[in-house]
Chain A
Amino acid sequence: MARQKFKRALNSRLSPFQKIYLLLVAGFIVGPFVPLLIQSFAFRWAWPDLLPGTWWLEQREKSLLPLAWDYVISPYSRVWEATLNTVFIGAVVTVICLLICLPTARVLAREEFKGKASFEFFLSMPLIVPEAAIGIALLMIFIKIGLAGSYLGIILVHLIPTIPYMIRMLTAVYQGLGRDFEEQAMILGASRWQILRLVTLPMLLPGVVAGALFTFLVSTNIFLLTFFLGQGKIITLPTLLFSKISGGTLDASAAGITLVVTIPGIILLLITERFIKEEAFGKGFGN
């Protein structure tokens, strides 16, 4: 009796409610992609048909590729341009962010100093000040000094929301690292450079990779700051998709572009799931 009650209170298997809930959430998250995929391969899909009236395959003598995909991979859609821009900006932002955050994270993880709490609060401010405020305020300044619509301007502005994440993840890494190994190397007579190259960096590497991936991810997902400060001159995947659907309708080519915009996310998901451990994420955000 008591044993049964104990088991009920501390179950490590799913309850029936949880099973249904997990299925519903899965449906909510990936379900809408099904009609999107169908739409991109449809030739004609009129209301109220649940499936397209004419599939591309039946009309393939008229167009070699599905209509949507033919457009998506053509230069007219500007998908390639947007993809290259997204990857280029993301990569540069990640490198800069990593370089300026590493020393700071090291200090934050290891030293106590006056004003540390307020410094940490300042570092997380960009996460809680609405993006629209930053975007529009910076746009005024950037137009004035000629940075609006330039790669440099976009890269600079992407640093604002990525720094807080990078700092948190790297600080968690340094905290886990401890000073002991470096001290041992020092006692054994290693030079500072040797310590950095042979001890600190190898131990830091997994965390650095995780932080870099996460920063890249945040940068590639930014819409508002790119849209406001890119001034339509620099397009990335999120802003390209925005311009396709801003009318509130979704045709076959927009469906194709939506799927293309999803692909980098899926690739990043497959990589990050291996590198970013949930525990590390928790250390960064659990407090």
Chain B
Amino acid sequence: MWIQLMPVLVVLSVLFGGALVLGVMQSLGFAPWFGVNTFPDFQYFGALWGDWFFWQSLGLTLYYALVSTFLSLVMGVLLALALVRYFPGKTFYKYLYKLPLMIPYTVGIALAVIMMGNSGMISRLMAFVGLIDDPSQFPQILKTHYGWGIIAVYVWKQTPFVALTVYAVLLGVGRETEEAAAILGANKWQIFFQVTFPQILPGIVSSTLIIFAFNIGAFEAPFILGGGFPDTLPVVAWRYFNDADYTLQLQGMATVVSIALIAGVILYSYLSFYRRYERRIGRH
């Protein structure tokens, strides 16, 4: 039996586990190929965490990740609830809403630029209705720390993911329990919060876990659409890594390990919170 598990176990342990272990060791000063070996040495974490900009970057990273995860969750669940109903053109709609799932984030970024850029469609529409008469008067949406562009790209790409997951769960559980609740006199809000919601919760948790982890570690959208210094943590790490001063690579590694640690703590507390809820309602 273990023989059958070996291939996957070896590949993941070596590539993924190896990367994690070596990453942690490097962030603690183990880099003999640079002539640096002061393991274990917390100076890189100390320098990073002692700097105010790190906490600003962390705040931005979490802000983009949380807001877009929350918006995708709400929009995705609403979409899934509409998709289980019957409506004309449903077959076509089921193709249409999945399109963002199939294409890279960079396409979403290009769309954000053409819609929300200073000379983009929104700016042109505002000029058309007479609100502005020069692109420079356009209230900048992209490249600010509000991150509207970043959030729009994440929501555009991830709403279909949440919707697909929740829709699949809804198809799996069927409508019998909802019908029973309706016969017993529940109104539609009671049905949603007391019957449907607990049923789709596992789908909600697994899809939000995945997109939140992605958002925290995403690089391309904040790099192109972000507001510059302070950048999000993955962009900070990338800049350290490409710095001419190679000792900063270890600082970059400390940044990367910090991202993984923070993501780990948040996702772990989220999961244990969810598990406690599951036990309270008597599942598992």
Interface residues of A (CB under 8 A from B): 5-6, 8-14, 18-19, 21-22, 25-26, 28-30, 32-33, 35-36, 39, 47-50, 99-101, 103-104, 106-107, 111, 113, 119, 122-123, 125-141, 144, 156-157, 159-160, 163, 167, 217, 220-224, 227-228, 237-239, 241-242, 245-246, 248-250, 254-255, 258, 261-262, 265-266, 268-270, 272-273, 278-283, 285-287
- Knowing A104-B5, A221-B104, A254-B110, say if A137 contacts B253 (CB, 8 Å): yes
- Knowing A128-B263, A221-B104, A278-B164, say if A21 contacts B115 (CB, 8 Å): no
Give CA–CA (A78, B14) in the complex, Å.
34
B124 touches A47 (CB 8 A): yes
Which residues of B have CB within 8 Å of A278?
A: 164, 167-168, 171
B206 touches A163 (CB 8 A): no
Interface segment out of the listed B41-49, B50-58, B207-215: B207-215
- Knowing A156-B15, A246-B224, say if A100 contacts B214 (CB, 8 Å): no
A241 touches B12 (CB 8 A): no
Give CA–CA (A13, B186) in the complex, Å.
18
Which residues of B have CB within 8 Å of A134?
A: 16, 19-20
B171 touches A103 (CB 8 A): no
The answer to whether the Cβ of B188 comes within 8 Å of any Cβ in the partner chain is yes
A258 touches B107 (CB 8 A): yes
Give CA–CA (A266, B96) in the complex, Å.
10
A/B pair count, beta carbons within 8 Å: 318
Give CA–CA (A9, B160) in the complex, Å.
26
Which residues of A have CB within 8 Å of B123?
A: 47-48
Which residues of B have CB within 8 Å of A279?
A: 168, 171-172
B217 touches A133 (CB 8 A): yes
A237 touches B104 (CB 8 A): yes
- Knowing A26-B96, A101-B8, A140-B22, say if A10 contacts B168 (CB, 8 Å): no
> B residues 143-190 with Cβ under 8 Å of A?
143, 156, 159-160, 164-165, 167-169, 171-172, 175, 178-179, 181-183, 185-188
A129 touches B93 (CB 8 A): no
Which residues of A have CB within 8 Å of B181?
A: 9
B224 touches A10 (CB 8 A): no
Give CA–CA (A118, B11) in the complex, Å.
17
A9 touches B168 (CB 8 A): no
Contact of A29 among B119, B160, B234 (CB under 8 A): B160
Which residues of B have CB within 8 Å of A19?
A: 87
Contact of A137 among B19, B33, B96, B219 (CB under 8 A): B19
Which residues of B have CB within 8 Å of A111?
A: 1
Give CA–CA (A144, B171) in the complex, Å.
49
Which residues of B have CB within 8 Å of A248?
A: 113, 117, 142-143, 224-225
B1 touches A285 (CB 8 A): no
Shortest Cβ gap from B284 to chain A (Å): 10
A286 touches B5 (CB 8 A): no
- Knowing A36-B114, A224-B218, say if A48 contacts B16 (CB, 8 Å): no
- The residue on A at minimum CB distance from B125 is A50
Chain B at the A interface: mostly helix, strand, loop or mixed?
helix
- What are 7 A-to-B residue pairs whose CB atoms are below 8 Å? A29-B99, A111-B1, A131-B217, A135-B219, A137-B253, A224-B219, A242-B224
Contact of A282 among B5, B96, B171 (CB under 8 A): B171
- Knowing A129-B260, A286-B172, say if A25 contacts B159 (CB, 8 Å): yes
Contact of B164 among A32, A239, A281 (CB under 8 A): A281
Which residues of B have CB within 8 Å of A13?
A: 85-87
**Those 4 A-B pairs whose CB atoms lie nearest each other, nearest first:** A130-B217, A282-B168, A137-B23, A48-B127
The answer to whether the Cβ of B121 comes within 8 Å of any Cβ in the partner chain is yes
Contact of A6 among B19, B95, B183 (CB under 8 A): B183
Contact of B115 among A32, A99, A137, A282 (CB under 8 A): A32
Shortest Cβ gap from A83 to chain B (Å): 13
Give CA–CA (A100, B5) in the complex, Å.
9
- The residue on A at minimum CB distance from B127 is A48
- The residue on A at minimum CB distance from B169 is A286
The answer to whether the Cβ of B223 comes within 8 Å of any Cβ in the partner chain is yes
Contact of B104 among A12, A238, A246 (CB under 8 A): A238
Which residues of B have CB within 8 Å of A8?
A: 187-188
- Knowing A134-B19, A278-B167, say if A33 contacts B97 (CB, 8 Å): no
A130 touches B143 (CB 8 A): no
In the complex, besides A10-B175, A138-B19, 17 extra interface pairs with C-beta distance below 8 angstroms are A8-B187, A11-B188, A18-B78, A19-B87, A25-B79, A25-B97, A47-B124, A107-B5, A113-B1, A131-B214, A134-B20, A136-B252, A241-B104, A249-B113, A278-B167, A281-B165, A285-B206
- Knowing A35-B114, A273-B94, say if A163 contacts B11 (CB, 8 Å): yes
B106 touches A223 (CB 8 A): yes
B15 touches A138 (CB 8 A): yes
